[in-house]
Structure 1
């Protein structure tokens, strides 16, 4: 707790230099990987295995983006001061965060459309007026670079559910909305450490020119 309090105090008093120092340390990148691993474990362990909720096409895409974030943190943690590893890791991490957010928004929209359709059908209303059909998705996913991940790792990446059809919620929020929150946190944190790294590079470049 003392270390956390001290870190927060350092961030408040000297945010730029603190972020510069943090992005050079392994723990912050391992923390990012750990957070992604927690989300992946929750999806496969709690939802897929315990609750027996089959993943849909967009669900496995979101899962893929979380694996990207996980591996990005591990790549940078090999040597946080190595520029090539940092560039590769940050590129992969930003791809995972941006794509994951876009897929989560898509899933949220499909969830709303699917449940609106259910409500209309239950009330005997007009299906087309409700904008129904949100549950349509494929069981043949397409991953970047044509990777057949659903064939290599079917439990993790083979979609077998219907997009937007889950009824799970916690504190009034569904799974897609929690994913949006998670990627928002990832985005804020990644922006901070990316800024710390760029400012460190700029500072180092300025020092070299001064000499």
Structure 2
């Protein structure tokens, strides 16, 4: 407890130096790995197994992006003081966050179109057409043509339809909450990335 208190006191007096120290140590990156693993396991164990909600094409892409964040954390965890590993890990982590947010946003659009209440003021066909343009496929195409659906079919083979889920929590669906999760990852990663860049350029 005394170490945590000392760190907090130092952080309050010099936040940037505190962030530089934090991103140079393993605990914060272990937390990032844990957060991404929690999201992945929640999707598999709770939604897919317990609630019997089959993953759609965009769902498995979102899982892939979360796996990118886990792998990024593991790369950094090897040696958080190694700038090459840190740079590679952060690039992969930001790819996972940004691409995952984009896939979640696309899924949200399809979900909203599939669950819209039609009235005379709505252009239903325009909205439905937008959703159809990003329709799901049972043959996913992962980045770098990775055959994840063949290697790990239970986790990465899409067997459901995009936007078909009716699950909600506090008014938000699965895609909405995925966007929240990626936003949290981004907000947490931004100051750590900035602190690493400060440390990197101070060395030069």
- Structure-2 change in CA distance of 1:19 and 1:59 (3 Å): same
* Structure 1 equivalent of residue 186 of structure 2: 187
2:199 corresponds to 1:197 = no
The equivalent residue for 1:132 is: 128
Unaligned runs of 5+ in 1: 206-211
Q: Quickly say closer, same or farther: Cα 1:167–1:9, change in 2 above 3 A.
A: farther
Q: Is 1:21 aligned to residue 17 of structure 2?
A: no
The residue that corresponds to 1:48 in the other structure is 48
**Is 1:80 aligned to 2:65, yes or no?**
no
User: Is the Cα–Cα contact under 8 Å of residues 97 and 185 in structure 2 kept in the other structure?
Assistant: yes
Give the C-alpha shift of residue 201 in structure 1. Answer: 1.3
Cα separation, partners in 2 of 1:25 and 1:59, compared to 1, 3 Å: same
- 1:94-116, Cα deviation, whole Å (9 max, x unpaired): 11011001011111111101101
Q: Displacement of 1:91 after TM fit?
A: 1.0
Distance 1:102 1:6, change over 3 A: farther
SS of alignment partner, residue 132 of structure 1: helix
CA 172–20 in structure 1, closer or farther in 2 if over 3 Å, else same: same
> Aligned pair in 2 of structure 1 residues 125, 36: CA closer, same or farther (>3 Å)?
same
Deviations 1:103-134 (A, max 9, x none): 11111111101101xx33xx899984462263
User: For 1:91-102, what aligned pairs fall within 5 Å after superposition?
Assistant: 91-102=91-102
Note closer, same or farther for the CA distance 1:66–1:83 as it changes in structure 2 (3 Å cut).
same
- What displacement does 1:21 show? 0.2
Indicate conservation of the 8 Å contact 2:68/2:96, yes or no.
yes
CA RMSD of superposed structures (Å): 2.1
TM-fit CA distance, 1:198: 0.6
Aligned length: 201
Equivalent residue runs for 1:61-80 within 5 Å: 61-80=61-80
Partner of 2:166: 167
Structure 2: distance between partners of 1:94 and 1:104: 15
The verdict on how the C-alpha distance between 1:3 and 1:114 changes in structure 2, with shifts beyond 3 A counting, is farther
Q: Shift in Å at residue 5 of structure 1?
A: 5.9
Q: Deviations over 1:119-157 (max 9, x none)?
A: 33xx89998446226373101000011111001100110
| TM-score relative to the length of structure 1 | 0.88
Q: List alignment gaps of at least 5 residues for structure 2.
A: none
Deviation at 1:78, TM superposition (A): 0.5
**TM-score normalized with structure 2 length:** 0.91
